[in-house]
Structure 1
């Protein structure tokens, strides 16, 4: 017997089931050419073959590694800079235009520049993804620091806390919810840029390269498998940050 509580736990699966049913109906009615849209069963078979006999697992792992490297570099660079920007209003205003300009520039437009600097290889993919993610993270960290409640900062100063203690024990803790928002956006953007880079910057592996190869040889089931794997990876990374934020930044909004 399905109880209200158990139904609530299953509610997130409703969208997945509805999407698969819609997919099956479109395929069965041939609303889209079956060559271009294989059935869920064909795609599932391609997934199993790719994992057991092919290189899907290796491509997935390679994309994960590249994304984590670029995200890690972005965090190491962007978080300290964001704190500095947020702690100094005058410094922030003096370079806001330059940072906002590059943040508004599509990362794909930066590919030629990074190719000239780093050449064709792993460094280019990771560098351009780190660049895009770092700008997003840095702005969110700066906004978080600037948005820290002045009453709590003032109270800490009144109680005799030195400036560095106010920064570490009040301002940074206050800014953590916004920092996590930036990190969640940053890792998602890093994944997007990595996959696009794998498509167009001399890759021999990775999910992006797998999508392009499958499309060129018209292996539609494998192409859909690679696309679904990319989406699943992005969803998993986003979910991991949400869980981590709820676990360690429980004071957000309080």
Structure 2
């Protein structure tokens, strides 16, 4: 029942926002240069969602985000499981690891330009950096909270390090891993948009279009591009939610949500 009610609640929330938006613009409480009417934004959205319009930028942003998440998960999950299992090694690097997490990725962009070069790779690196740290730290936390009795049983059964990590430790840490992927996807999307907007390396991307529209005072188009970006974030969150329901059925909370 919780699942069936959730879409209704979301629709009710969006309906309330739309009603307030209509009221503010119809009553001219806000200047159109700041908040255009919903109809003008909808018209701009229809005109822009074409193969030669925002769809190209949407694909470009999604590809950068996908590459960043693939890099983050490919390195963050195995290293996180290993560090979570070897607590002494993690204790030795915990300080520097959290110090790295405190450094804004935008501050490291000149370093990414040197290491990766000027081009798409630097934008991907800037989005992958915080995503990697988030997934790594969440995976470490999940591995450290693993049921030690199950790990001991795996050792008694003669499972090697690889088998223990993939068959026991990974599943013990999976709730934290998925939570990390959810957060990393949000960070990656935000930094991809910011990089496209202000760094100016790429001509395509939702962030670049938002900046171009805003600079040209094409306000309805600006809001339309922002709505597309928000829809991407909502879709990513829903994909992780579906993955959680399918992969975490063995958890009491996941069973209750179904």
Please report the TM-score for the alignment, with normalisation by the length of structure 2: 0.90
- Structure 2: distance between partners of 1:46 and 1:31: 22
Q: Does 35-44 or 115-124 show the bigger shift?
A: 115-124
Of the three residues 123, 131, 137, the one matched with 1:133 is 131
CA separation in 1, counterparts of 2:4 and 2:138?
37
Partner of 2:72: 74
Counterpart of 2:167 in structure 1 is 169
- Alignment correspondent of 1:16: 14
Instruction: Report SS of the residue matched to 2:49.
Output: helix
Q: CA deviation at 1:169?
A: 2.3
Q: What RMSD over aligned residues (CA atoms) do the two structures have, in Å?
A: 1.9
The alignment status of 1:41 with 2:39, answered yes or no, reads yes
Deviation at 1:19, TM superposition (A): 0.6
CA contact (8 A) 1:152 1:170 kept: yes
User: What displacement does 1:228 show?
Assistant: 0.9
- What is the aligned counterpart of 2:116 among 115, 118, 128? 118
Q: Secondary structure at the match of 1:235?
A: helix
1:216-254 residue CA offsets vs partner (Å, 9 max, x unmatched) = 000001110111111110110111011011112212357
How many Å apart are 1:78 and its aligned residue?
Answer: 1.1
Show the counterpart of 1:228. Answer: 227
> Cα deviations across residues 45-70 of structure 1 (Å, max 9, x unaligned)?
00000013851111111111110011
Which residue of structure 1 aligns with residue 243 of structure 2? 244
Contact 2:81 2:169 in 1 (8 A): no
Q: 1:51-92 CA deviation, whole Å, 9 max, x = no partner? A: 138511111111111100111111111111111110111110
> Is the CA contact (8 Å cut-off) linking 1:177 and 1:252 kept in structure 2?
no
Q: Any idea what the Cα deviations from partners look like across 1:8-60, whole Å, max 9, x if unmatched?
A: 75232000100111111111122211122110000000000001385111111
Question: Within 1, Cα distance between the matches of 2:51 and 2:164?
Answer: 57
Unpaired runs of at least 5, structure 2: 254-258
Q: 1:98 and 1:91 mapped to 2: Cα distance?
A: 12
Matches of 2:172 and 2:192, distance apart in 1: 32
Structure 2 CA distance for aligned equivalents of residues 185 and 177 of structure 1: 13
Query: Please, what TM-score do these two structures have when normalized by structure 1?
Result: 0.91
Distance across 1 between alignment mates of 2:4 and 2:96: 51
Contact 1:129 1:193 in 2 (8 A): yes
**Whole-angstrom CA distance in 2 between matches of 1:101 and 1:117:** 20
Q: Does residue 55 of the first structure (1) align with residue 53 of the second (2)?
A: yes
- Shift in CA distance, 57/235, structure 1 to aligned 2, threshold 3 Å: same
Say whether the 8 Å CA contact 1:121–1:201 is kept in structure 2: no
